[in-house]
């Protein structure tokens, strides 16, 4: 059976046809299928971290530090809660936008724009990690440790460092990943290969990094 | 799904060309779609931030936090990650397992509550 989109069964019939196919269960490039499966596993990992954070926060008898206060910054005399976090959120969303545009231009085979947008995405990601490092420095200076802190429940520190640490690690990995692919785009590697799928697959990873931040922002900083 | 936006690439006879690549190249949508969703993500993020800035409390706070979080997550997965235009088989394979996580969360919430109550009951301050 040829995998022409217009002749493939849709809906539930399509599900049966896909999963019972003799060669390929998911008629997409293997890179895309594997990246989705990896992201699924990563979802489970981050869910474990966030769930255990929920558990220790619920079960501690000490008051939980107020994130609005802990992560507030005083700028020009004005005390602004969660300022750095809000900026970091905007940066990550912007980077998702540039990445989506990069994928679009990739399929249009525009090497310069694709690479430029991917480098922009990576740069935004790098600035995010820098700001997270700033956040860590500030908190460590204020006495936050994995085993205790002066603001409240002792579990705050370990939750914060584990969750944001793993996320920051993923962002860093993404920055390297995107830079490598962007350089290959510039060199014409994907023109020779015949497809720009790799740009889309890298995009999937980057959007996942943004997605995890959406959940961290909501559950750790806002709640 | 959204047929108006979905564009097909021009199909030549696919005898020699790997079908998977042709399928992928066909998933181009006008940049306009991404820019709109991008704007919406900023708007929802601003609303999320305002929930904290205006110090909303209790059930209203948590409902709004969850609502905007799920909205943003849905748009990122559906549009930016292309899931809206993928085949149902892939959608189901990826999106149903996380539902099992809801069970984990429920169980751990019950356990956390129990631990809290036993700590209160057991320790005389």
Domains identified in chain B, total number: 2
Residues B23, B57 within the same domain: yes
Tens digits of per-residue pLDDT, A6-36?
Answer: 688 999 999 999 999 999 999 999 999 999 9
Residues B82, B108 within the same domain: no
pLDDT for A76 equals: 83
Residues B121, B67 within the same domain: no
DSSP state of A78: E
Domain boundaries, chain A: 13-222
What architecture does CATH give domain A13-222?
Answer: Up-down Bundle (1.20)
Residues B95, B81 within the same domain: no
pTM of the model: 0.89
pLDDT for A73 equals: 86
Which chain B residues contact residue A6 at CB under 8 A? Answer: 8
Cβ neighbours of residue A138 under 8 Å, at least 6 residues apart? none
Q: Note whether B68 contacts A218, CB cutoff 8 Å.
A: yes
Nearest to B11 among A4, A89, A203 (CB): A4
How does residue A5 score in pLDDT terms, banded at 50, 70 and 90? low
Tens digits of per-residue pLDDT, A100-131?
Answer: 999 999 999 999 999 999 999 999 999 999 99
Question: Residue B30 phi/psi, 5° resolution?
Answer: -60, 140
Residues B65, B94 within the same domain: no
Residues B79, B103 within the same domain: no
Tens digits of per-residue pLDDT, A183-206?
Answer: 999 999 999 999 999 999 999 999
How does residue B28 score in pLDDT terms, banded at 50, 70 and 90? confident
Residues B12, B53 within the same domain: yes
Q: Note whether A40 contacts B98, CB cutoff 8 Å.
A: yes
Nearest to B90 among A4, A26, A195 (CB): A26
- The ipTM (two decimal places) reads 0.91
pLDDT for B30 equals: 84
In Å, what is the CA distance from B97 to each residue of A91, A104, B84, B100?
30, 29, 17, 6
Measured in angstroms, the CA of B4 and the nearest CA of chain A are apart by 15
Which chain A residues contact residue B27 at CB under 8 A? Answer: 107, 200
Tens digits of per-residue pLDDT, B30-63?
Answer: 889 999 999 999 999 999 999 988 989 999 999 9
In Å, what is the CA distance from A170 to each residue of A46, A52, A95, A163, B45?
11, 19, 14, 11, 21
Give the structural domain span for B97.
87-125
Region of residue A76 (phi > 0: left; psi between -120 and 50: alpha; otherwise: beta): left
Residues B119, B106 within the same domain: yes
pLDDT for A177 equals: 98
Residues B116, B73 within the same domain: no
**Of the candidates B70, B30, B32, B75, which has an alpha carbon nearest to the alpha carbon of residue B48?**
B70
Strand partners, A80: A73
Q: Note whether A223 contacts B65, CB cutoff 8 Å.
A: yes
* pLDDT above 80: residue B9: no
Question: Residue A78 phi/psi, 5° resolution?
Answer: -95, 130
Percent of chain A with pLDDT over 70: 97
């Amino acid at each position: 059976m040829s995998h022409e989109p217009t002749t493939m069964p849709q809906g539930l019939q399509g599900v049966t046809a896909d999963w019972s196919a003799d060669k390929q269960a998911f008629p997409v490039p293997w890179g895309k299928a594997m990246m989705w499966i990896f992201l699924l596993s990563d979802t489970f990992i981050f869910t474990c971290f966030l769930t255990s954070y929920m558990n220790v926060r619920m079960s501690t008898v000490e008051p939980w530090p107020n994130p609005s206060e802990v992560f507030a910054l005083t700028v020009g005399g004005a005390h602004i809660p969660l300022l750095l976090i809000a900026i970091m959120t905007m940066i990550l969303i912007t980077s998702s936008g540039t990445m989506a545009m990069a994928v679009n231009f990739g399929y249009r085979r525009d090497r310069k724009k694709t690479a430029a947008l991917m480098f922009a995405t990576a740069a935004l990601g790098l600035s995010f990690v820098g700001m997270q490092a700033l956040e860590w420095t500030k908190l460590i200076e204020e006495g936050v440790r994995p085993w205790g802190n002066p603001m409240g429940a002792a579990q705050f520190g370990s939750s914060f460092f584990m969750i944001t640490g793993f996320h920051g690690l993923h962002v860093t990995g993404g920055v390297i990943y995107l830079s490598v692919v962007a350089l290959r785009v510039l060199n014409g590697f994907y023109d020779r290969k015949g497809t720009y799928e790799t740009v889309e697959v890298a995009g999937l990873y980057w959007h996942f990094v943004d997605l995890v931040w959406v959940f961290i922002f909501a559950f750790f900083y806002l709640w | 799904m959204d047929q108006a936006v979905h564009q097909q690439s021009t199909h030549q006879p696919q005898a020699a060309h790997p079908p998977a690549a042709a399928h992928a190249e066909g998933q181009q949508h006008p940049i306009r779609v991404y820019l709109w969703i991008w704007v919406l993500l900023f708007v929802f993020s601003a609303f999320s931030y305002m929930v904290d800035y205006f110090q909303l409390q209790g059930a209203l706070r948590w409902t709004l936090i969850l609502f905007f979080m799920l909205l943003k997550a849905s748009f990122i997965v559906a549009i930016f990650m292309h899931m809206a235009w993928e085949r149902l088989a892939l959608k189901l394979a990826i999106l149903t397992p996380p539902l099992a996580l809801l069970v984990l969360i429920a169980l751990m919430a019950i356990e956390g509550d129990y631990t809290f109550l036993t700590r209160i009951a057991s320790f005389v301050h």
